[in-house]
Structure 1
Amino acid sequence: MVKNNKMLKKETFIFLSFVVAFQFFTSCNAPKKQEQKQEQESKGKLFIIGGGSRPSAMIDRIISESGIDKTGYGIILPMSSSEPDTSAYYAKKQFLIKNIANVHALHFIKGEKFSSDKIDSLKNASMIYISGGDQNRFMEVVQNTEIEKAIHEAYKNGSLIAGTSAGAAVMSKMMITGTELKNLEYSSTFRNLQSENIEIKSGLGMIDNVIIDQHFVKRSRYNRLLSAVIEHPETTGIGIDESTAILIQGNNAEIVGEYQVIVFKNPKKSKNLYQDKLGAHGITLDIYLAGETFTLN
């Protein structure tokens, strides 16, 4: 009887240990599952343009996907630009040419008190268009503000969020700033694959586990996106060329425009170092053309 009692206590201890471990595991994973649930609940679309000129058919696609030719309105956010008024003018013009007049610019300034009317207008827009310029300038204005929250709420409720050039870079949670940490002289393309050279900051986070790069083929930005994928192997690197875009809905991306979209993945999470030079094995490369689709995760 004593032996049986000891065995019973041992089995009870093992069972309780399992229960505690299971509860700990599920609680640790709850935030991640919640984030995934929130992403799945978003009804909107992302239209991410690699910069350069926007072909007429691309603007048509933005209009049709957002539905602003039928109802609602569009908002242009020109804060990436050093000349926001000029940027807003040309962004509006591309829609006016298509007889779409219900597109308006909202220019927010860092540190100002944002009016509730402006925030509500942004929140309820059918389309939000982020212009090109400097992604760092844009994030300095919107990060951790009501503007950022309004963009996410609009997306969650079904709006199309579009961005070109810098407006493309801000879409991902991990944003390439364009700054080289080891080479202070600016260059539009990285000359080497070096460790700890690429600067990453927080973007809008419209899309997780992805890093966006723009003007990609035109400016040969392979080195910096490869560096990012090697040093952040949990991410997919998406390089979008000029006059080209990806339309994202849920977990699916469609290529729109004239040129290519390059996708790098590091499934083996490979990273090798020789001095400060980066190496890796098993990185995958896909080159997509207009009309083709791929899944993000």
Structure 2
Amino acid sequence: MMNIKRKSILTAFVVLISTFCTTSVVSQDINSRGKLFIIGGGSRPSSMVDRIIKESGLDKGGYGIVLPMSSAEPDSAVYYAKGQFTKLGVDNIYGLQFSKDEKLTQAKLDSIRDAKLIYISGGDQNRFMEVVEGTDIEKAIHEAYQNGSLVGGTSAGAAVMSKLMITGNELKHPEYSSTFRNLETENIETKTGLGLITNVIIDQHFVKRSRYNRLLTAIIDFPELIGIGIDESTAILVKGNTIEIVGESQVVVLKNPKQSSKTYNDKLGAKGIIIDIYLPGEIFTLN
């Protein structure tokens, strides 16, 4: 692991950004909306990173930020995320770390609002939301998205995108497992996410870690939501209500249109579940 000085990331960022934009928020079209680039974890092929660059407009200028608060090693998370962009000729990527109960400055918040790309690292989605939930950081992310920025994230950074967030914990089986072994009522733990996409619930590493039971449980417990399971090295690009699959593997979409739910000794049952499996390049629409 690289030995990186913790303060160097933010210091360099603040110095460079002070020359990049004024202290006021850049005027943007408040009627436009941004895009979401939600990655299911794993490795990120260069073609995927290149797509992020083009969709965010970084190939034409501006800067991106990495929010590493999900990670237990935030400096390393920034280093490796930034490195993938640097290899493709984009150097204006900066780490911006926040801590819980930090006194927020206008300069740091404006750095979020004015970024063309906001990228949320992997790690633990609960750790990220403990820092940003209900704060001006969360508000700044939403403002950037509404004003046209691309908000992306991988693994834990994918989980936080939806309003209802899967924490990864089982209420009835507190010992951690990367996949659910049962379909049980009142077992899946959820918390509040960023809510950048409100009518779905996201799961990541989906095919690789066989997380079907977890997402099935979610759409039976919360039948008004659409479950989207994103495999590793794969992403969904969200533009309004249109979703495109980007990357190397599959995206599994689960729906419970009849809002069916039945229990027997805590075991879940449902009828009429719809499953669609999408491949790279395919597009679907959220109703």
Which of 1 and 2 has greater Rg?
1
| Structure 1 runs of 4+ with >3 Å offset | none
Equivalent residue for 2:50? 60
Counterpart check, 1:233 vs 2:211: no
Equivalent residue for 1:150? 140
Greater fraction helix: 1
Q: How far, CA to CA, are the matches of 1:295 and 1:266 in structure 2?
A: 16
Q: How far, CA to CA, are the matches of 1:187 and 1:63 in structure 2?
A: 35
Q: How far, CA to CA, are the matches of 1:294 and 1:163 in structure 2?
A: 20
Equivalent residue for 1:293? 283
Counterpart check, 1:177 vs 2:167: yes
Counterpart check, 1:81 vs 2:71: yes
1:259-278 aligned within 5 A: 259-278=249-268
Counterpart check, 1:44 vs 2:40: no
Q: How far, CA to CA, are the matches of 2:132 and 2:159 in structure 1?
A: 14
1:185-196 aligned within 5 A: 185-196=175-186
How far the C-alpha of 1:99 sits from its partner, in A, is 1.1
Say if 1:197 and 1:284 are closer, same or farther in 2 by CA, change over 3 A: same
Identity rate of aligned residues, in percent?
Answer: 71
Equivalent AA in structure 2 for residue 284 of structure 1: I
Q: How far, CA to CA, are the matches of 1:290 and 1:41 in structure 2?
A: 30
Q: How far, CA to CA, are the matches of 1:283 and 1:208 in structure 2?
A: 20
Equivalent residue for 1:11? none
CA deviation vs aligned residue, 1:32-87 (integer Å, no higher than 9, x gap):
xxxxxxxx955100000000000110000000000112121101000000000011
Equivalent AA in structure 1 for residue 104 of structure 2: F
Equivalent AA in structure 2 for residue 84 of structure 1: P
CA deviation vs aligned residue, 1:157-184 (integer Å, no higher than 9, x gap):
0000000000000000000000000001
For the residue of structure 1 that corresponds to 2:60, the secondary structure is: coil
How far the C-alpha of 1:136 sits from its partner, in A, is 0.1
For the residue of structure 1 that corresponds to 2:59, the secondary structure is: coil
Q: Give the alignment partner of residue 100 of structure 1, picking from 90, 103, 110.
A: 90
For the residue of structure 2 that corresponds to 1:69, the secondary structure is: helix
The unaligned stretches of length 5 or more in structure 1 are 1-39
Equivalent residue for 1:167? 157
Aligned residues: CA RMSD: 0.9
Equivalent residue for 2:8? none
Equivalent residue for 1:209? 199
For the residue of structure 2 that corresponds to 1:211, the secondary structure is: strand
Equivalent AA in structure 2 for residue 265 of structure 1: K
Structure 1-normalised TM-score? 0.86
For the residue of structure 2 that corresponds to 1:76, the secondary structure is: strand
Equivalent AA in structure 2 for residue 72 of structure 1: G
Equivalent residue for 2:111? 121
Equivalent residue for 2:269? 279
Matched residue count: 258
Q: How far, CA to CA, are the matches of 1:186 and 1:127 in structure 2?
A: 33
Structure 2-normalised TM-score? 0.89
Counterpart check, 1:90 vs 2:80: yes
Equivalent AA in structure 2 for residue 133 of structure 1: G
Equivalent AA in structure 2 for residue 102 of structure 1: N
CA deviation vs aligned residue, 1:196-217 (integer Å, no higher than 9, x gap):
0000100000001100000000
Counterpart check, 1:135 vs 2:151: no
Equivalent residue for 1:9? none
Equivalent residue for 1:72? 62
